[in-house]
Amino acid sequence: MIPALLATTMLTQSWIYPPTKTVNQTDTYHGITVADPYRWLEQPITTPEVKAWAEAQNELTNRFLNQIPNRKPLLDELLRRVNYERFDIPVQKGQRTFYGYNSGLLPQNVIYVVDRPGATPRILLDPNTLSTDGTVALSGTDFNNDGSRMLYGVSKAGSDWIEWNVLDVATGKTIGQPVKWSKFGGGVINSDGTGFYYLRYPAPEGDTALTAANENSSIYFHSVGLDQSTDQLIYEDKTKPQTFLYPAMDDAKQELFIYSDEPGSTNNRIWHVNHDGKTVTINKILDANDANYTPLAIRNSRLFIRTSKDAPTGKIISMPLSGGAMTDVIPARAEAIEGASLTQSRIIVQYMKDAHAVVETFDLAGNPMKNIPLAGLGAVTGFTGSSNSDETYYSYADFTTPATIYKYNAAANTSEIYRKPELPLDPSKYTAKQVFVTSPDGTKVPMYIVHRKDLKITGNNPTLLYAYGGFGASQTPWFSTSRTVWMDMGGIWCLANIRGGSEYGKAWHEAATKVRRQNAYDDFIACGEYLVNEGYTTPKRLAIQGGSNGGLLIGVAMNQRPDLFGVCIPEVGVMDMLRFNKFTIGAAWEGDYGSPENQDEFFSLYRISPYHNLKPNTHYPATLVTTADTDDRVVPAHSFKYAARLQAVQAGPAPVLIRIESSAGHGAGTPIRKALEAVTDVYSFTLHNMGITIPEIF
């Protein structure tokens, strides 16, 4: 039973948290003894004592949240605003067109197919029928050349584990049995749909599926209709158990490639595979591990590749499929390449200019053709190419424009709106601007500031600062109906494009890797200081939020500047930087974080690790840690240990709570209502701890 809360008001009370035992566990790294008193929380959540601890923590959190006024009207408004038709970018294969669709509040998008131009769309696969609670989600789809078969992956309760299936498009029936023990969307169907290549791990032992280190990845070929035990091994290397392998095919599905990523590196290798159904030959065409390489397409017997080789902002090259000399097609320039694809006669390149998209086209020789006009300073996705067509689709969005799908003819350079959502709100009420913040080392860091046009900036506005800052993942403008609710409650929302992403290319990414990680945190803290110094808000009303690597960011920023922030929301964060590589795919993060086994990198990790740098007698901000019971990307033990230690050392009156979602993982595939319930709790916790009442009517 939870001890009663002691207090007169929620903002000034003293807290009694559920008891959390400590253990006498220490580890020695490079001569340094490090205590880990909450190691027992690394056990699976199904372990009775861990389960009891999690239930007690959730009960306390729910008790606190349930007494915040007007949470139900807030959730109702979030649901109302997301209740509009949404379409995914279509995929054309043969005469068929495939797309995802959501009528508004469906837990998962439904896959539709149009069998021929002018035909009536029909449901091909509805993942909402695969579970009663909406927690079974699609984790990847691929189609063979004529669109007669669809490969689809299914994940359960948010787990990264995928079961692959093949569906006959004409009948809508699944063929054969599921193929197990795959992850990360690593599946591609062959040209005629008789089989598919997939990433596979050894079956985990016992109850370790959600925690055990993912090692010895391999690539297999599955023949549709046969048992998985008969699958053909394409490639493995047991001498390098932590190498991550990934299959890919060209757009014509004639050639197979394997990506090989090694721990501790931000580069990769590319190998070409000849597989005639019986024998396998591997040609390691790009094997130096000296840059990033992404195969794009094959045109005129040459392989086009996006690479950072001698080009930190990226360039496009071509080479013979058999390997050999590389030829520059589109040279590097100041703006970073964020993406590239090929149609029949054009190369489409998405550049990143100060964290927003610029799209240009080139002929296959690399000669500039036309820019693609965009609606504003936003982001684009799509442009999937084909060797036999110059038509493709893309989606554009920004902070005030919902994702709108365009049909694009590359040869004519014409775009026409294909799908434009009809929103239950007016996005023109909001405005966004970009500022540049000076980090301590002089680096200029872009930051977007978004709010209602009619908002009066008082210097005390509730402000939510978000960032990610890692793994080369650029953070670009996107539209969010839930963000409009925050802004309609008087809030300001900010996105900091800190180092660690690829907003300015590989150098921007690597400026915050390994022993340079502190640069990302310095950038973020500088952005927080800017918002206070420029009169947007005060520390009490400055909240910070980030997920996964961004959760790590929030933990570090809070530890280093507890005086600067009023509310902290570290979501599914990597909080123990000395043991992150012990669980699931954690070893793959060493390219960004470094390794505790390396002495220099250990000391860097030890200095920033959120779990290890919590200090007694410190007044920490109000903190809502979030995680999920089946998160096997960043295991919940990170958040469990961090929350337990933070509760133990908190010397101030602000609450330290943890929200543990059930039947959920790292975020992908979360049903809409479950996702918006989480948003409701974050907004409620944040505003309440700022001393702001949620409105009853919006």
Q: Which residues are catalytic?
A: 548, 666
Q: CA dist 527 to 153, 612, 620, Å?
A: 40, 25, 19
- DSSP, res 214: -
Strands 463-466 and 542-547: parallel
Q: CA dist 122 to 92, 136, 144, 591, Å?
A: 15, 21, 19, 45
HSE-up of residue 50 (Cα within 13 Å, Cβ side): 17
SS3 586: helix
- What lies within 8 Å, CB to CB, of 228 at 6+ separation is 177, 179, 180, 222
| 182: number of Cβ within 10 Å | 25
SS3 579: coil
Rounded Cα distance, 29 and 311, in Å: 37
- Contact at 8 Å (CB) between 186 and 247? yes
Where are any strands of DSSP class E within 366-454?
A: 368-372, 379-382, 391-398, 401-409, 414-419, 430-438, 444-452
| 367: number of Cβ within 10 Å | 11
Closest CA to 671 of 107, 13, 64: 107
Rounded Cα distance, 607 and 610, in Å: 9
SS3 182: strand
Q: CA dist 698 to 68, 77, 484, 681, Å?
A: 17, 7, 11, 17
Q: Distance of alpha carbon 338 from its chain centroid, rounded?
A: 16
Closest CA to 476 of 350, 389, 324: 350
Rounded Cα distance, 13 and 2, in Å: 16
Rounded to a whole number of angstroms, the CA Rg of the chain reads: 25
List 9's β-bridge partners, or say none.
none
- Contact at 8 Å (CB) between 501 and 474? yes
- DSSP, res 618: B
Alpha helices in 415-548 (DSSP H): 481-488, 506-510, 518-533
Which helix or strand (DSSP H or E) is residue 656 part of? strand 656-661
Longest alpha-carbon distance in the chain: 75
Closest CA to 285 of 253, 238, 317, 241: 317
Rounded Cα distance, 39 and 414, in Å: 59
Phi, psi of 533 (to 5 degrees): -65, -30
- DSSP, res 664: -
